[in-house]
């Protein structure tokens, strides 16, 4: 079955539960966690009903769901008890990190319990290979901890404040992906998980056993902690180069895709998108931009190449603050800033392939007002194609046109498990036999 461009509401997979089960679970959680550990107050419910899906006008127009209860575990040991209680009462359980996922995949489709992991922030260990932390640790905190120990994370997303568990369960790529691929491609060394069974307990998974739970939206297990890869810290420089013509900028970005040593991050935008980014003298209004994290040893050579391609070097900066700042201008963030500058105007599609650059004008013309944000990915370019929004039908109609140009498309307007769904379904049948973990994620 080909992937749908947007999600449609169906009751399929809805667990059979009601107010009595919710009330009984609330009592169980009160006994387990105390009065501060569980809430059904409107503010808590509203907060747990939101995520980054506001970026999609298609998802924003729908009622994606809302929990009946939210709980706030403060120790990893209590998680199996919470999961057992939800299983005993037959109430669905959706695990929540920072709530920045942009497909609505953390909003509980059928209600039930949301478990907020953001208090579980401990970083437990680091060695030459990996860092071990609880699921609520922030990605930026892990990167800082790694730098303090002469290491760097293999990768982290542009939503740098998001959680380790959320990035592993709901994210896919980020700073470092050019070299290391996506988060399900070897980043994870081990996971501590809890399955939704009536005898739930902490289960430790190593290597190949852990990988299949990555990018599964928590439907096959709750991630309580993880060990993820680090590598020796490199001496990074953040470079900002502006261009009068975005064609030159995008072509120069593609030319750098074979550069050795590879950048840790490379993003390119046309002037209209740059104009929407936060004010910075290195982001020159009215000019296209390339931003890259480069090994200090190759800054001069890359700057020479970009200058020869028509660019003007605006800034070369160093230090972790600058690295993180540049990361937070990558991936979905330029779209986010564009939408902030022009509310209710734009939507975006996730697109990939060198055709983004080699057929740039044709790609941008697929949607009215089309503007590409480009990232250098792992062995291919990818990006976000922004366009003026009219209707879901208009969004769908552009997909075959993009594909005919040789562009791969992934829709950010649907909430289904989108990585190897059949395999995930088979795992979940064993680890969540009652279908209680974040239900409603199968297309």
The site map against ligand FAD for 410-439 (x = CB under 6 A) is ----------------------------x-
Decide if residue 89 touches ligand FAD (CB under 6 A): no
3-state SS assignment for residue 113? strand
The C-alpha angle with vertex 85 and arms to 82 and 86, in degrees rounded to 5, equals 90
CB of 85 to ligand FAD, least distance (A): 17
Cβ-based nearer residue to ligand FAD, 131 or 303: 131
Angstrom distance (rounded) from CA 162 to CA 417: 20
Measured over the CA atoms of residue 398, residue 399, residue 404 and residue 407, the dihedral's sign is positive
CB of 89 to ligand FAD, least distance (A): 19
CB of 247 to ligand FAD, least distance (A): 25
Angstrom distance (rounded) from CA 33 to CA 13: 29
Cβ-based nearer residue to ligand FAD, 23 or 185: 185
Distances (CA, A) of 16 to 95, 135, 435, 436: 19, 29, 10, 10
Maximum CA extent, the chain: 70
Cβ-based nearer residue to ligand FAD, 151 or 333: 333
CB of 183 to ligand FAD, least distance (A): 7
Using CB atoms within 10 A of its CB, is residue 382 exposed (0-12), middle (13-18) or buried (19+)? buried
Decide if residue 51 touches ligand FAD (CB under 6 A): yes
Decide if residue 242 touches ligand FAD (CB under 6 A): no
Of 121, 361, 110, 88, residue with least CA distance to 198:
88
C-beta nearest to ligand FAD: residue: 166
CB of 358 to ligand FAD, least distance (A): 24
DSSP state of 211: G
Cβ-based nearer residue to ligand FAD, 92 or 157: 157
The site map against ligand FAD for 153-192 (x = CB under 6 A) is ----xxx--xx-xxx-xxxxxx------------------
State yes or no: cis peptide before 261, omega within 30 of 0: yes
Distances (CA, A) of 244 to 148, 272, 284, 285, 287: 39, 12, 10, 10, 5
Cβ-based nearer residue to ligand FAD, 15 or 311: 15
Pick the stretch among 265-273, 311-319, 328-336, 427-435 that binds ligand FAD (CB under 6 A).
328-336
Decide if residue 7 touches ligand FAD (CB under 6 A): no
Decide if residue 336 touches ligand FAD (CB under 6 A): yes
Q: Scanning residues 279 to 308, which ones bind ligand FAD (CB under 6 A)?
A: none
CB of 419 to ligand FAD, least distance (A): 12
Cβ-based nearer residue to ligand FAD, 98 or 413: 98
Of 185, 239, 232, 237, residue with least CA distance to 212:
185
Q: Locate 198 and state its tokens.
A: 């009536």
Of 109, 53, 51, 6, residue with least CA distance to 391:
6
CB of 100 to ligand FAD, least distance (A): 3
Q: Distance between terminal CA atoms of the chain?
A: 9
Contact residues for ligand FAD, defined by CB under 6 A = 51-52, 55, 94-102, 105-106, 117, 135, 157-159, 162-163, 165-167, 169-174, 217-218, 222-223, 331-333, 336, 438
């Amino acid at each position: 079955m080909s992937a749908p461009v947007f999600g449609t509401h169906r009751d399929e997979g809805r667990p059979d539960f009601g107010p009595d089960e919710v009330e009984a679970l609330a009592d169980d959680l009160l006994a387990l966690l105390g009065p501060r550990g569980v809430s059904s107050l409107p503010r808590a419910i509203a907060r747990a009903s939101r995520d980054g899906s506001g970026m999609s006008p298609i998802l924003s127009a729908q009622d994606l769901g809302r929990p009946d209860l939210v709980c706030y575990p403060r120790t990893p040991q209590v998680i199996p008890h919470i999961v057992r209680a939800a299983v005993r009462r037959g109430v669905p359980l959706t695990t929540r990190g920072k709530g920045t996922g942009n497909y609505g995949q953390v909003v509980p489709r059928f209600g039930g319990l949301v478990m907020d992991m953001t208090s579980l922030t401990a970083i437990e260990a680091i060695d030459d290979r990996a860092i071990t932390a609880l699921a609520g640790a922030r990605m930026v905190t892990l990167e800082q901890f790694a730098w303090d120990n002469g290491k760097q994370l293999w990768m982290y997303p542009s939503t740098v404040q998001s959680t380790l568990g959320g990035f592993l369960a709901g994210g896919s790529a980020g700073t470092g992906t050019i070299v290391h691929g996506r988060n399900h491609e070897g980043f994870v060394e081990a996971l501590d998980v809890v399955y939704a069974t009536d005898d739930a307990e902490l289960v430790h998974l190593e290597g190949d056993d852990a990988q299949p739970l990555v990018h599964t939206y928590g439907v096959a297990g709750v991630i309580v902690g993880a060990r993820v890869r680090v590598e020796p810290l490199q001496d990074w420089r953040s470079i900002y180069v502006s261009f009068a013509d975005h064609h030159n900028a995008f072509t120069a970005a593609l030319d750098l895709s074979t550069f050795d040593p590879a950048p840790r991050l490379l993003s390119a935008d046309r002037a209209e998108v740059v104009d929407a980014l936060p004010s910075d003298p290195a982001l020159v209004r009215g000019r296209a931009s390339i931003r890259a994290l480069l090994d200090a040893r190759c800054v001069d050579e890359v700057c020479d190449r970009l200058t020869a391609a028509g660019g003007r070097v605006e800034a070369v900066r160093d230090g972790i603050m600058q690295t993180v700042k540049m990361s937070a201008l990558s991936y979905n963030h330029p779209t986010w800033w564009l939408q902030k500058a022009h509310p209710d105007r734009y939507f975006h599609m996730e697109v990939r392939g060198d055709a983004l650059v080699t057929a740039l004008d044709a790609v941008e013309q697929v949607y009215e007002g089309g503007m590409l944000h480009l990232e250098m990915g792992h062995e291919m370019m990818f990006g976000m194609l922004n366009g003026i929004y009219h209707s879901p039908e208009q969004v769908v109609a552009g997909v075959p046109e993009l594909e005919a140009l040789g562009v791969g498309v992934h829709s950010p307007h649907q909430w289904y498990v989108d990585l190897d769904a059949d395999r995930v379904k088979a795992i979940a049948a064993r680890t969540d036999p009652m279908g209680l973990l974040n239900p409603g994620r199968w297309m």
